[in-house]
Structure 1
Amino acid sequence: MSAELSSSNILSGADNADIKKETILERLNKRNKERQNCLDVKLEQRNKENVQLEGADYFAFTFAERVRAIEEQLQRITEGADAAATKLSAPIANTNNPDLTCLFADITLQIQELQRYLTNSTMFLTDFKIKACQNALNELNGNCEELRLRLIPKKKFGFSGKKVAPKVIVNPRVVGLAADKVDMPEKTAKAISSSTAFEWTLANRENEYICLEGDALNGKDITISNLRDCFVELRGHAGSVQISHAIDCTFLCGPIARSLFAENCERITLALACQQLRLHSSNICRIYLHVTCRAIIEDCTNIEISEYNYKYDDMDADFQQAGLDKTQNNYKDIADFNWLSPDVPSPNWRLVKDAPAPAWNELRKQRQIKATSL
């Protein structure tokens, strides 16, 4: 009997030893897998960082080379004009020089292409780098326009280049005016430069419902200024949109091919789809956003961001015409130039998740009734 117990104890001890051995091996294998996974994650992160650094370095080199090439072209034009002026002993002001016109048109296209290159590269650039490059582009564009106006000044009088006024749907209280009446071109308080005037598509409106669509909008650069308590719809595919000085307004925008730039806005609601959003010096704004690159805010407070939810007939066709990808929306990726800390979220904007879509149709009807009663 004792021999059987002894044999049983030996077998039980062997089984326990095997179990302990298996447990130890399992723990070692698990620890080894965790270690290997950790190494794989670190390696992937390191490779990703290397790719980003290589991309940033390549961008910096390419961007600088293109800027330098454009500056050299402007310098050659300046030297050629000065030489011609010295030879003729008179200032150069040849408004009928097709060579200069073609040169400036080509340079403008190069600057626009460089702007697109910057926009498409914002995903891997730092906020400081984006701002520095944008400032360089603004200066380059200003120098080009200044030189163009000096060498090819605009005619004081003439109507051959007059823009056709877009058709605007306005509220009934202005129907008594000309059927296709729009705002007259005006100079803004902040002109692009001291020698240029800016023409606004819509300006100085209050308590109105306004809708641009069709040929009045598609592919055009739409500029809006000094609106208060207005409801504006851009139903189509604009080329770009600029909004300045808007208070208590609602803007519903279809797909915009390039960018929307807004400044000095207070208590506005904005629904838009675009390639890039730039919002400056604005406060208390709710934005329903679809953006394929990166949205940028500067000197802004109390900005709420939610997903784009404006809809109308033929919107899919307008997305295609604008060249925007409906499946790519980076509305959660907002760069705040006043908050460069990578670890702490900016206090100037917040993401509103699962926000209910406003009843745009009802809001439109209310605003139309209000505008009619005034």
Structure 2
Amino acid sequence: MERFYLENKSKYHSLVDALDPLPKPRIPKGMSGPNIIVSARIRPLSENEIFPSAVFPRANQKNVVDIHDLYNHPKGIPILKSSDYQVDKLFNMDSATEEIYKELVVDLVPYAWNGGVGTLFAYGQTGSGKTFTVSRVEGLIAETMMNGKFEGKREVYMTIIDLAGNAAFDLLNEREPISLREDSLGATQLVGAQENQVFNVDDMKAVVERATSLRRTAPTLKNPASSRSHAICRIRIRNTENGSDGLLYMVDLAGSEAARDVAVHGADRMRETKQINISLSVLKDCIRAKAEADTATTLHRERLGPKVPHIPFRQSALTRVLKHVFDPASTRGCKTIVIACVNPSLADVGSTKNTLRFAELLRVLVPLTDESDTEKQSAMHWTNMQLREWIKENVS
């Protein structure tokens, strides 16, 4: 297929230039869920990439991207097939990581400082910029957290682990194996993992660099040092005065690979890729189910009934570690950011569409209800006491 793309490169450009993209179908009246933002980042084409870009942010519609693929028609005429996707925030090739941090991530730091749980996931094909994005964001978090501008006394601790299948390893202790165990309160504990206290920006960056050097990588057709595991950086902010400890999770997910990208590496790599893709599928189900649960809460539980979407966090080690992020029964506030990292090359258009499809599936829209309808519906469920109070306040 790559040969076909190269032979018809000029034809591809002419077809794209002549295309007038259709508007995306009108979105149902609503807004994104209150506790999750799904974004996409398109990395620039590198100098040594010979294929044109297949990814085109739409100029007249915010956060919509068109993907144009070239197909070999049975009659031998190259034709263009297009698809479009929408996210909450779209960052173009010229968007710096600092811009993404300011728009998406920076608010998670004071949120966690004050006892909340903030989580960032970076997802996408290997070579799409996940690790580059996460490592830079971790450095920016260190600078924000340690600038001395937040109120209250806190102690900051870091733990960084690697998940390969159902096995877990401590990246701050020479990849020593650790255990994932559920305590009496139902929380997942990282038994055997070191937790390093950090006191300044340099401490935090040094911990991240040490962990990165021990992360498991292996070559694929797309990347000679592809991350073949999920790296989880946990920052615990201990409130020494009162209140709950805050938590920040930076999750650099293993590259989502097509079978053709790993087939030449043998049966072990195929099994490894299967495990990675299963864990990513479970993660998608958990994030979406949590968003649906949050949406149901936003739309008044008394109207929707007590049923809560099932969240299958026990089905993989990754989601077990992050159980508290997905648990709808949790009393702690939790906010989640997803960055779908995209390789724009036409040669990777299949993986790009899969990444953006994954991102779209995570979006759960909250319908916007008319205020008067909401008030009427709520009044139908008032108790006698509520009704008497309303009459007392509104009827002379």
For the aligned pair, the TM-score class normalised by the smaller chain equals under 0.3
The higher radius of gyration belongs to 1
Which structure is higher in helix share? 1
| TM-score, normalised via structure 2 length | 0.24
| TM-score, normalised via structure 1 length | 0.25
